[in-house]
Amino acid sequence: MASTTTSQKPITTSDSKPEDPQQKPTAALEEDDEFEDFPVDDWEAEETEAAAGGTGTNTQHLWEESWDDDDTSDDFSNQLKEELKKVEAARKR
């Protein structure tokens, strides 16, 4: 038993190695993770994001409700309906 557990160890370490190159780009992202200095010190109200958004400080149109009523024909909704029918059928039996 002891020999099998030790022999498994090298496998897990070699498994983790191929991931390393993938992690590098995220590490590079971290470098400039800091809020940047603005190239100018001050700007007019017209140049703010609030003005550019077109609706003053109202950013409502950029956010949406977190539920989805429109799309009830996608795979997941169909699956759900099937599943619920099965439950219904099981209850009636």
Partner 1 sequence: MEFGNHLYREFEEAWEANNGYRLAATINPDLSAAQLGKIHQSIDPDSGNWKASQEDNVKGSIKRGLQSTSIRTRGFDNDEIKGWTDVYFAYWTVTGTLARARAQGPSSQVSLQLLWTEVFEQWKKFVNALVQGYNNYGFEAWTIPCLYVAGKYLRLFAMQADDERSKNPSENDSANAFQDDFDPETDKHQKLEDCARVLNRVFSVCLNDRAPLEESRKWGIYFIINLLFKTYFKLNSPSLSKNVLRILTAGRGDMPDFYSFPRSQQVTFKYHEGVLNFLEENYAEAEKHLTEAWGLCHKDAIRNKELILTYLVPCRLITTHTLPTEKLLEPYPRLQRLFLPLCRCIKKGELHAFDLALQEGEDEFVKRRIYLTLERGRDIALRNLLRKVFIAGGFMPAAEGEKPVRRTRIPVAEFAAAISLGSQERLDNDEVECLLANMIYKGLMKGYISREQGKVVLSKSGAFPGTGV
Q: Which is nearer to partner 1, 2 or 87 (CB)?
A: 87
Measure the CA–CA gap between 65 and 84, rounded to whole angstroms.
25
Measure the CA–CA gap between 81 and 88, rounded to whole angstroms.
10
Q: How many residues interact with partner 1 (rule CB under 8 A)?
A: 47
Pick the stretch among 1-9, 10-18, 47-55 that binds partner 1 (CB under 8 A). 47-55
CB of 14 to partner 1, least distance (A): 20
Q: Which is nearer to partner 1, 2 or 63 (CB)?
A: 63
Alpha carbon dihedral 34, 37, 39, 44, in 10-degree steps, equals: 110
Contact yes or no for 77/71 (Cβ under 8 A): yes
User: Which residues are at the interface with partner 1 (CB under 8 A)?
Assistant: 23, 26, 29-30, 32-38, 40-43, 47-52, 57, 59, 61-69, 71-72, 74, 76-77, 79-81, 83-84, 86-88, 90-91
